[in-house]
Amino acid sequence: MKVVIVGGVAGGATTATRLRRLDENSEIILFERGEHISFANCGLPYYVGNVIKNEEDLLVQTPEKFKERFNIDVRISQEVIKIDKENRKVEVKKNDTGETYFETYDKLVLSPGAEPINPFKDVKSDRIFTIRNVNDAEKVKAFIKSNNPKSAVIVGGGYIGVEMAENLSEYNMEVSIVEKSPHLISIIDNDIAHFVHKEVKKHGVKLYLNQGVNDISEHEKLLLTLDNDKIETDLAILCIGVKPESNLAKEAGLTLNEKGAIIVNSKMQTSDENIYALGDAVEVQNIITGARSGIALAGPANRQARIVANNIEGITSTYDGFIGSSILKVFNYSLGIVGLSERVCQTLKIPYKIMIISPYSHATYYPGAKMLTIKAIYNSETSQILGAYIWGKASVDKITDILSIAIQTKMKAADLSALELCYAPPFSSAKSPVNILGNAIENEINGLVDTISVEELRNEKKTYILDVRTIEEYNLSHIDRAINIPLDELRENLKKLDKSKEIVVHCHSGSRSYLACRILKQKGYNVKNLIGGYIMYDIMKND
């Protein structure tokens, strides 16, 4: 069998090596129009920031190693410019000479990836950059070294934008992010975005939110004209987003969706059964909702590559879909993201509620425990976990991974409570944060407590607020309307509370106030626990 693969990196290169492990005798040709067939593109911002020192560290494989170890014919700096699916051949152009030739195939694999969106291609300037490959990162580093810029603007506050802002800050530049959405990382919920904003601002990054860039012009510096502001800067990096690079597939007559993504079936076959496609350029299914869209993450691309290779070699394999598991470093914190957001639940009319807890990463009596904030979105009718965010300095990846498995296997709150997870004081607590999350959701589902969110509280101007923290905590800072009765003094002061009023109870994180709610509810009071406690109120108030 002869297999031709178009594009390397996570999708194409992984497909090639899996094919070879399955079949020693097949002929495998991999075309890559760039210079590198397999590089760590997720590491590019950290290469710009010199966290990753050497370019070689980004290169996972070289053409020479591919040939030596896997006997794969890698042809770099050669671009497939046309597919003739009727005759099963592709036309290839050599970048150095412009010469073209044809290569036949039995099976064709498309892994073209996605290209950065750049609405300012007409602006000719060596101060404007996009980040897609190692060469792009090299250009940014070379510009910084030669010009010693004092300022930089990141256009787009998504994953790459936030990572680039952090790494450019290492050069002691004044760094700004312009984001058209109301908050950074537009796919996340508004309340969690406040944590991101606080950490980014703490490191001196300026935010221009709810603003698009209407024009870029170059004078002595770049001038960016926003909806409501103007910014002068020494360089700009466009991190607006990506779009499927699917022109080759379109011209070949393969079926695309309205956004230009290649439509594939569960075996990753396109509308032509002899042509497979994978990675950032394809449309796949969300496991939870059944909706179809693209997912520009390396993890799904790697899994799809295995499935493509299996099916080519006669091992029936299917890709069931994605849930969007990801993690992002934000200066000194990490943000784990998995599953559905509140916005998606609202759009799809999925009945849901939220739970926010703030446990510690491990036993507090062992040194180094760090407080986490975990938000879960769950189906209010079934208690099935739909989505989660994890914010903190430790154990974020572990907890995100556990909740990713929980969502993929359609676990409910009781299932989280029942999970047997490893424990020793340096690593976790006897009740892990995931167990605590399950317990908290179960408590609400079983009617042991009612809850109210910070946003809901803001709209209830006449609500009676009870702060059960210590007097010292209350005096340090508190909600303006709140009265203070410390939890340990609550039973002796019940007569101070009005049973005819709804009482919103809070503490620092929600744990002590849950106990207060149990006391008051059993005494006949109408009470609600503030989700996330004063932590959430304070973070949303001050952003």
Q: Which CATH number fits domain 326-415: 3.30.390.30, 1.10.260.30, 3.40.50.300, 3.30.420.10?
A: 3.30.390.30
Q: Which of 451, 421, 470, 418 is nearest to 529 (CA)?
A: 451
Question: Which pLDDT score, from 0 to 100, does residue 89 have?
Answer: 98
Task: Please give the Cα distance from 153 to 489 (Å, whole number).
Answer: 53
Q: Say whether pLDDT at 463 is over 90.
A: no
Residue 61, pLDDT above cutoff 80: no
**Which CATH number does 2-41+59-112+243-312 carry?**
3.50.50.60
With 0-12 / 13-18 / 19 or more C-beta atoms within 10 angstroms meaning exposed / middle / buried, residue 225 is middle
- SS3 call for 483: strand
Give, for 179, the enclosing helix (H) or strand (E).
strand 174-179
pLDDT band at 543 (very low <50, low <70, confident <90, very high): low
pLDDT in tens, 249-286: 999 999 999 999 999 999 999 999 999 999 999 999 99
DSSP secondary structure letters along 314-371: T-------B---EEEEETTEEEEEEE--HHHHHHTT--EEEEEE--BSS-TTSTT--B
The mean of the pLDDT values for the chain is 95
**pLDDT computed for residue 59 by the predictor:** 74
Which tops the pLDDT comparison, 3 or 298?
A: 3
- Give the pLDDT confidence of 310-367 residue by residue, as tens digits: 999 999 999 999 999 999 999 999 999 999 999 999 999 999 999 999 999 999 999 9
User: Tokens representing 240?
Assistant: 């607006």
Q: Is residue 215 pLDDT above 80, yes or no? A: yes
Q: What is the structure's pLDDT at 20?
A: 96
Give the predicted TM-score (pTM) of the model: 0.94
* Burial class of 145 by CB neighbour count within 10 A (0 to 12, 13 to 18, 19+): exposed
Q: Which residues are catalytic?
A: 42
Q: Half-sphere exposure of residue 529, counting CA atoms within 13 Å on the CB side?
A: 30
Q: In the 8-state DSSP scheme, what is residue 487?
A: G
Judging by beta carbons within 10 Å of its beta carbon (0-12, 13-18, 19+), is residue 399 exposed, middle or buried? buried
Q: Around Cβ 409, how many Cβ atoms within 10 Å?
A: 9
Q: Is the pLDDT of residue 496 over 90?
A: yes
Q: How far is it, in rounded angstroms, from Cα 178 to Cα 524?
A: 51
Strands, E, within 255-305: which ranges?
Answer: 262-263, 275-277, 282-285, 292-293
Strands, E, within 190-290: which ranges? 206-209, 213-218, 222-226, 230-233, 235-238, 242-244, 262-263, 275-277, 282-285
Q: What is the percent of the chain with per-residue pLDDT over 90, rounded to a whole number?
A: 88
pLDDT for 57: 82
CATH superfamily of 128-240: FAD/NAD(P)-binding domain (3.50.50.60)
Q: Mean pLDDT over residues 228-244, rounded?
A: 95
Query: Where does CATH 3.30.390.30 sit in the chain?
Result: 326-415
Q: Which CATH code is given to the segment(s) 451-542?
A: 3.40.250.10
Quick one: which of 407, 357, 366 has its CA closest to 386? 407
Residue 279 CA to residue 299 CA, distance in Å, equals 9
Q: What is the pLDDT of residue 250?
A: 97
Taking Cα atoms as reference points, which of 74, 109, 91, 110 lies closest to residue 3? Answer: 109
**Residue 472: pLDDT above 90?**
yes
- Parts of the chain belonging to CATH 3.50.50.60: 2-41+59-112+243-312, 128-240
What's the confidence (pLDDT) of residue 37?
Answer: 80
Each as own residue / partner, the long-range contacts of residues 251-256 (CB below 8 Å, 24 or more positions apart, any chain) are 251/82, 251/83, 252/82, 252/83, 252/84, 252/85, 253/85, 254/85
